[in-house]
Amino acid sequence: MQTHEYLEKIFKAEPIDRSKLPVTWFCAPDGSLRVLSRYGDDVYDFRPYLQNPAQQSYQLDIMAVPEVWRASFRETIVAYWHFGRSKHGAPKASTVVNAGIALIPFLRWLTTIGVHRFSDLQPIHAATYALHVKTTPIKVKGKRQGEQRSERGLENLLGVVSLAWDLREHLRDAPTKSPWGDRGGQTLHSQSRGSRIYAKTPCLEEHEVKALFDVCEGVLKQAEHYLGLWEILHNRRNTHLKGGCRTAIYSYHESRWLQRSHGMTPRALTGKVHEVRGAIAFLLGLLVGQRVSELLSLETGCYFEREENGQIHSYVKGKTYKTRNEGCEQTEWLAPPYVGRLISFLERIRAPLVPRMQAGIVELEKEWEQTSDTSRKAKLSHHIDQVKRGSRALFFSYLGRRRATVIMRRAEFGRLLGLVRKASGINCVLAPHVLRRTFAVMVVHNCNGDLRYLRKHFQHWSLETTALYAANETRDQGVTDAIAEEMLRSKAELILQWLDPGYPLAGPAGEHFVRTRAKPEFRASTLADREKLACSLADGFDVRDTGHSYCIYQGVPSCGGRGLYDARACAECDGAVITRREVPIWREMAKQALKIESKADCGPSAQQVAKRSLDAIGEILRPFGIHIDDLRSASNE
């Protein structure tokens, strides 16, 4: 539907003949294709093209554009919708809508300085506008009102400055030169992204994950009781539908029954069910690692198990929108078996509402047949499509006076997560993209043997399963990319710490880092130089966590894992790096060896082994200011 042969007429026709030419279409319930927006309309409606439930804007209001710019704005948006920027092809509808929304404030600003045509646009105007948006705080009401714009926000606003220049071959009113001058696309609005070592998306700390997870577990322990009441209440309600969709949420008799038998109002029960949904939303985001649009795409029957390489793996299937140029694509995500229980709870919440959903669809289709107004038919068609999709969704919400069921919006999903955060009492950023990064971090820690809390929920993830997961095209490649990126970043952060001249290290490999840091050419290096070196080293070798040291040994043959149960092997291995984190473990090993050394009944052989162990452990503890003689004196006391 995006590229239609009629669009060619728009760019061949004179301006006076363009107003009636179609721009967007919709597919009616009877299968016919009907015009939704025309070139001369005051609003361009892209709803039929936006399948992503996380997309919040679907219209472009032409009347919000200064009057002198409306003709150029229409021409630019339609050209972008049809042709796209050079070398990129036609964009998605969401990209066009977002670009149009970002272009409007630029055109308003140009109007204030007396520029009314793209042909008058000069590089000095772009540079001044870039300075304007960087220094002007956010004015729109919300949590960030009064704050400076983020780097992503600046990119969105300034990225459209060159839109007319990129589309100049298709515009009558086109710029005569690039608004960014000779510097091309990487211009004043481009800002340093910094080192790839540091991620911009925040990650939940371990104590935050534990507190939030415990809250969700507590909610789910009571889920059986509340979902049982939910099913009884709605089954009683369904007996009164009689082929229609009631607008009243609950009748007097249903409310009275619930109050008398269980001491709850329907509103209180609905609140408890929302808490269950919030707990499930948090746990799915944490344990599966999906984007918000992918979580909202989950439908009944999305959980399944499959045997692969002699093992049973659990999966969740849904849709991916972000990395697809058009529409969506069916995708699978690896999940722990625990997720099957969460999906079953969501299916139980949805099941009693199905008769009401179906009755709502019937009513809307009847109204569509009886309506002759084209604009009203277009809105009803979109509404019917929304309700049909919402009737299959596990995360749904209500819309309009009929309380029709539609796929949940991003804002409401965020409110569900807010219930979990509020119940935990933790002041943290809790959003789907934060859960996705936390998921990637926990997978990396589990693959490295450095995950303790929630380990059973990530035991299905290893380096082998990550490779298996990435090999299948039906699975979300974005998850494996996020894991690989997080794995590289975690190694780079660790190595950067080792390169810090003031950070003590032990072990043969740790001593090599210390000697390298002491060289004059390294001591003269800056933090940025060390970050580049850390990234380079992270690409070059593996880092394994044994619990009592980090192993970076790359040779063949290796110790075969002997250092996992014999720490002294790591103390003498060329690939061992020992940091402050492992000092308490080595101190306890020293105390145990001292006990064996002090007992004469252990025999000379055991005492000799203990002495060799103490010598090796002493070399490890010395860089941290701990000496075996001091430990021996303390044990004798």
Q: Please count the CA atoms within 13 angstroms of the CA of 414 that sit on its side-chain side.
A: 9
CA neighbours closer than 13 Å in the CB half-sphere of residue 449: 11
Q: Is the pLDDT of residue 463 over 60?
A: no
Q: What average pLDDT does the structure give for the chain?
A: 78
What is the per-residue pLDDT across 62-83, written as a single tens digit (0 to 9) for each? 999 999 999 999 999 988 888 8
Per-residue model confidence (pLDDT) at position 492: 82
- What local confidence, expressed as pLDDT, does residue 275 receive? 94
Mean pLDDT of 489-495: 81
Q: How confident is the model at residue 280 (pLDDT cuts 50, 70, 90)?
A: very high
Task: Name the pLDDT band for 11 (thresholds 50, 70, 90).
Answer: low
pLDDT surpasses 60 at 451: no
Whose CA is closest to 460, among 288, 341, 335, 287? 335
Beta pairing class for 22-27 and 33-38: antiparallel
Mean pLDDT of 352-376: 82
CA distances from 284 to 65, 293, 454, 457, 636 (A): 42, 13, 14, 11, 54
Q: pLDDT band for position 493 (50/70/90)?
A: confident
Residue that wins the pLDDT comparison between 618 and 218: 218
Condensed to tens digits (0 to 9), the pLDDT of residues 161-174 reads 888 888 888 888 88
**Is it the case that residue 543 has pLDDT exceeding 60?**
yes
pLDDT at 249 over 70: no
Q: Model confidence over 519-534: pLDDT tens digits?
A: 887 777 767 777 777 7
Distance CA 41, CA 341 (A): 49
Q: Angle 223-238/206-221 helices, nearest 10 degrees?
A: 50
pLDDT by residue (tens digit) across 86-115? 766 778 888 889 899 999 999 999 999 999
Confidence check: pLDDT of 545 > 50: yes
Separation CA 21–CA 10 (nearest Å): 7
pLDDT at res. 187: 43
Backbone dihedral region for residue 45 (phi beyond 0: left; psi -120 to 50: alpha; all else: beta): beta
Taking alpha carbons only, the member of 25, 500, 148, 532 closest to residue 540 is 532
pLDDT tens per residue, range 402-438 = 556 778 888 889 899 999 999 998 888 888 888 888 8
Nearest to 351 by CA among 267, 218, 233: 233
pLDDT of amino acid 400: 55
pLDDT tens for 184-230 read: 444 444 433 444 454 567 788 888 988 999 999 999 999 999 999 99
Mean pLDDT of all residues in 372-378: 76
Specify the long-range contacts of residues 15-23, CB closer than 8 Å, at least 24 apart.
15/71, 15/172, 23/78, 23/81
pLDDT at 454 over 60: no
Region of residue 75 (phi > 0: left; psi between -120 and 50: alpha; otherwise: beta)? alpha
For the ranges 33-47, 162-176, 484-498, 503-517, the lowest mean pLDDT is seen at 484-498
From first CA to last CA, the distance across the chain in angstroms is 84
- Asked if the peptide bond before residue 66 counts as cis, ω within 30 degrees of 0, the response is no
Q: Has residue 248 got a pLDDT over 50?
A: no
Cα(628)–Cα(622) distance, rounded to whole angstroms?
Answer: 9
Q: Is the pLDDT of residue 326 over 60?
A: no
Highest mean pLDDT among 138-142, 290-294, 592-596: 290-294
Provide the pLDDT confidence category of residue 276 given band limits of 50, 70 and 90: very high
If pLDDT is split at 50, 70 and 90, which confidence band does 472 have?
low
User: In the structure, what pLDDT confidence band is assigned to residue 3 with cuts at 50, 70 and 90?
Assistant: very low
494 φ, ψ to 5°? -65, -45
Query: Helix (H, G, I), strand (E, B), or coil: what is residue 467?
Result: helix
Q: What is the pLDDT of residue 349?
A: 92
Task: Indicate if the pLDDT at residue 553 is higher than 50.
Answer: yes
Least confident span in 82-91, 355-364, 492-501, 579-588: 82-91
Q: Which residues contact 21 (CB under 8 A, 6 or more apart)?
A: 6, 7, 9, 10, 13, 38, 39
Task: Tell me which DSSP letter residue 92 carries.
Answer: P
CA Rg, the chain, in Å?
31
Answer whether residue 314 shows pLDDT above 80: yes
How large is the average pLDDT for residues 581-585? Answer: 86
pLDDT of residue 247: 44
The pLDDT of residue 555 is 62
What is the average per-residue pLDDT within 258-287?
A: 89
pLDDT at 152: 72
Residue 455 has pLDDT above 70, yes or no: no
